[in-house]
Structure 1
Amino acid sequence: MTDNKLNNDQNKLLIFLHIPKTGGTTLTNIIRNQYLRNISYSADRSGLIPSGVLDYKDELEKASTLCGHFWFGVHNYFSRSSIYITMLRNPIDQVISWFYFKYKNPQYNQFDSSFEEYISSDEFNYFTDNVQTHFICGDGTADLERAKQNLTKYFSVVGITELFDESVFIMKKELGWNNIDYSKENSNPSRPNRNQISKLTINKIKEKNKIDLELYNFARKILENKIRALGFQDRQELDIFKSTHKGL
């Protein structure tokens, strides 16, 4: 395993902004297989706010990557050049996955009420209300235009969970990665899929996540354009990769 150059500049720090329940644990393991010096950012230790990166100031001078749950903007707290990547997920599935991971998993917090009650509860509003846009804006707000600008200006690749294999393949091509084989990590096969959730509840999720839905569709179109632009040989390589991994 050897460090790769990022956009022909090995001094750039690769920042993986890991939004919860978007396939980020699996992607983090892929990233770690590419680089020798990786920092795993702990939100429990440093919080979600970008300035939390100051807890890692000395390590960042030599690191190749910074991966973890934090809002956009950490690059403002160090002088090195950097490049972002992230994953976005259809917010309906992201919200469902978050609830069953966080509140119905014996390893974590328990929540006695139902998923339907969770969606209607103001107490848990942050993680049911445009959380992906909050992360991309970087200050706890959900400003769609600012989020789009951040994705366009600062992110090399914005992956899509529903197109996980395609996302990883594009990252491989743009960032010079080598082996991108993976196993699914941190998934919950016992959680219901959206077809098992009432239409009323699905509509509530959509209503609370209008901005996330727009941001997701915006990013998905960008990724799909990159996929369509692949040459014949790359398309063949992608097809083989997809046939052996089957996505998340």
Structure 2
Amino acid sequence: MHQYDSKLPLISLHIPKCGGTSFTEVLRSWFWPSFHAHYIAHDRGGVLPPYPHPVKSLLHKSRIKPMVIHGHFEDEADIFDYYPKAEQFITVLRDPLEMQLSLFWDHKRRLKEFGTLYWKGEEVEMEYGGDIDRWVAERPFYLMPFLPFNLTLENFKDELSKRFVHIGVVEELQASVNHLASRLGKQPVAIPKLNESQRDQLPSEGSIDAFRGKCELEYAIYNWALDLNTNPLP
């Protein structure tokens, strides 16, 4: 894996429904006040993320406090549009089916609590009429746009290894944080409880099979990352 260099900003790719609430707090505790959040405000007209505050940049450049830039690098807020010299990354993945289902239930929860969903500043409807089988089988899976490195089944291990300091997984989140702490020279911290949406329905086996059939690369990446976090610390 990539050797961490505290003189360079660390880019943390927050992939939706991958333990972000808990992992964000871990990074904040390690890097504050040089923790910078990078998110599009979809509920406020799609306002793009700001660049880090000059004080945070000064703390980093003065080597007083290393910087981490953490958030959803998507569409207009792409990694290399904002930070073309980005060299070192971290992220947390999750079982792809669990990601797809967690996003479904999160949208359901938001509709129930707030009465609407927002995307790029506009109200949107629940896709596929809220049909969980169609959501699983037909909705494009969303992982790869958050890993914009032209990955294939043949090259993903090499491409990710040379860029990522570590890749965690939700299913082994405490072990993932312990491994990452070791890689960054930080103290391990206990993981708070994950923010989970309630579920009262499961998809059919047919829709699950269809989903898995279209996600060969995503499952290969996930299983590789899972192995990284189930092996003992060096």
TM-score by length of 1: 0.69
Q: How far does the alpha carbon of each residue in 1:61-118 deviate from its partner, in whole angstroms, 9 at most, with x for none?
A: 3451101011597367548775211011110111110111124432452524321122
Cα deviations by residue, 1:46-70 (Å, 9 ceiling, x for unpaired): xxxxxx77x4166473451101011
Tell me the secondary structure at the aligned position of residue 31 of structure 1.
helix
Distance 1:146 1:25, change over 3 A: farther
Q: Equivalent residue for 2:45? A: none
Hey, which of these two has a bigger chunk of helix by percent?
A: 1
Structure 1 residue 39 and structure 2 residue 36: aligned? yes
Q: Which has the higher contact order (CA 8 A, sep 6+)?
A: 2
CA distance 1:197–1:77, change in 2 (3 Å): closer
Determine the C-alpha separation between the residues in 2 that align with 1:41 and 1:208: 30
1:136 aligns with 147
Q: 1:214 to 1:79 in 2, by over 3 A?
A: closer
Say whether the 8 Å CA contact 2:13–2:70 is kept in structure 1: yes
Deviation string 1:116-136 (CA, Å, 9 cap, x unpaired) is 122344xxx3xx42x223311
The percent identity for this pair of structures is 23
Name 1:191's counterpart in structure 2.
199
1:159–1:167 Cα contact (<8 Å) kept: yes
Q: In the alignment, what sits opposite 1:162? A: 171
Give the root-mean-square deviation of aligned CA atoms.
3.0
Q: What is the CA-CA distance between 1:174 and the residue it aligns to?
A: 1.2
Residues 101 and 136 of structure 2 are in contact (CA less than 8 Å); yes or no, is this contact kept in structure 1?
Answer: no
Alignment CA distance shift 1:200-1:151 (3 Å) = same
1:180 equivalent in structure 2: 189
Please show how residues 67-106 of structure 1 align to structure 2 within 5 Å: 67-70=70-73, 74=79, 77-78=82-83, 82-105=87-110, 106=112
Q: 1:191 to 1:150 in 2, by over 3 A?
A: farther
Once the two structures are superposed, residues 212-247 of structure 1 have per-residue CA deviations (whole angstroms, 9 ceiling, x without a partner) of 1111112222333xx3354xxxxxxxxxxxxxxxxx
Aligned length: 204
Distance 1:116 1:74 in 2: 33
Q: Which moved more, 1:10-19 or 1:81-90?
A: 81-90
Distance 1:102 1:149, change over 3 A: farther
Match of 1:215 in 2: 221
Q: Which TM-score applies when normalising by structure 2? A: 0.73
Letter of the 2:15 counterpart: I
- Residue 11 of structure 1 corresponds to 7
Compute the displacement of 1:145 (Å): 4.1
